[in-house]
Amino acid sequence: MSDTASEPVSSAVRELVDANHILFDQGVVDGFGHVSVRHPSRPDRFLLSRSMAPGLVTERDVLVFDLDGAPVEPGGPAVYLERFIHSEIYRKRPDAAAVVHSHSPAVVPFSAVTGTKLRPIFHMCGFLGAGTPVFEIRDFAGSESDLLISDGRLGAALAASLDQGPAVLMRGHGSTVVGSSLHQAVFRAVYTEVGARLQTEAMRLGPVTYLTEGESAATTKTNNTQIDRAWNLWLKAARTRSMAT
Ligand SMILES: [Zn+2]
């Protein structure tokens, strides 16, 4: 497509395909879930696959969207029902360069219980900070919705719940994380799932000692320098096991 012809955009498309495959290979997404990246030269646009399983995405499947969640080129293939998660977060958060939405299984219980927040119990999850907000869609869509973020109004409400944080849980549904780069967003999505699993295990054993606010900030700063170490490993593993070739 004309809008993805330049080298920076082509590079962003290739990385987005890699991110899709990594998130599938790491068990963050399955047939559902999606990852997007802001357009490298048009901050009012973003790149996202057409509606399909992330593990099968190729460069040909990546489309350009505007901040209303509409494909820039009309008449194309079917698009994700929940693309408004991405459009409204990019609209609200100029610092967000990438967004991952998933139903990763260890996180979902934390969206559905009251009184227990998803919090960092080990250093790799320091970015979760003092706790992760839970978006209650009933407050905006009533008690008979399909729980999906299927329009801009719900997307804006989710983005407001996320506020300036790195992650938001969605009650009975899943979670959404943002990053200042695609690599950071993928890193956070993987470690949100790992952290949820570990917190659940720890809570079975007894009272949990969580990272302090200072530890959260310090570990986040250190981890931000190490993200590509994980990305390179995950990419190699995803390519080795890829079903998309
Ligand atoms: Zn979803």
Rounded to whole angstroms, how far apart are CA atoms 148 and 204?
A: 31
Q: Which residues are catalytic?
A: 82
* Distance from Cα 118 to the centre of ligand 1, integer Å: 18
For ligand 1, the distance from its centroid to the CA atom of residue 10, given in whole angstroms, is 27
pLDDT at 3: 56
* Two structure tokens written together for 88: 């409204």
Phi, psi torsion values for 16, nearest 5 degrees? -65, -40
Sign of CA dihedral 71, 75, 77, 82: positive
Note the pLDDT of residue 84. Answer: 98
How remote is the CA of residue 215 from the centroid of ligand 1, in Å?
31
Q: What is the mean pLDDT of each run of 10 residues along the chain (245 residues)?
A: 72 98 98 98 98 97 98 95 98 98 98 96 95 96 96 98 98 98 98 98 97 97 97 97 65
Closest CA to 228 of 161, 172, 183: 183
Measured in Å, residue 104 CA sits from the centre of ligand 1 at 10
Q: What is the pLDDT of residue 5?
A: 66
Nearest-angstrom CA–CA distance, 196 and 110: 8
User: 212: which 2 tokens?
Assistant: 């302090």
Integer CA distances (angstroms), 70 to 5, 102, 129, 234, in order: 19, 21, 33, 31
Give residue 81's pLDDT. Answer: 97
> In the prediction, which pLDDT does 244 show?
47
Span from the CA of 20 to the centroid of ligand 1 (angstroms): 15
Q: What is the pTM of this model?
A: 0.96
Q: Please answer whether residues 198 and 131 qualify as being in contact, where contact means their C-beta atoms are separated by less than 8 angstroms.
A: no
